Amino acid sequence: MQAAVAKLLFKIIMNENPNLTFDLTLNEANAILAALQELPAKVCNPLSQKITQQAKAQLEPMREDEAGEATFA
């Protein structure tokens, strides 16, 4: 167990700003975007844009499938 923790800490230290992945519903993502708008634009806009771009990329395949049978991979 300690070896696994040490390995994880080493990875984090070597990459000071690692990417994280969250599993959120569309409503939860929209709530986060709304809350971000309470911050100054120079802080929230880049993050809001990144969240919106990633959400659109995930939602586009679902919209394309609406013409036919909806499938989720």
The string of DSSP letters for 13-68 reads HHSSS--------HHHHHHHHHHHTTS-HHHHHHHHHHHHHHHHHHHHHHHHHTTS
The band of 73, judged by pLDDT with boundaries at 50, 70 and 90, is very low
Q: Where are the domains of the chain?
A: 20-73
**What pLDDT, on the 0 to 100 scale, is given for residue 4?**
81
pTM equals 0.63
* Tens digits of residue pLDDT in 6-46: 777 777 677 778 888 999 999 999 999 999 999 999 999 99
What are the CA-CA distances from residue 27 to residues 30, 32, 43, 50 (Å)?
5, 9, 22, 17
Q: Which two tokens stand for residue 44?
A: 């929230």
Residues 6+ apart with CB under 8 A from 59: 26
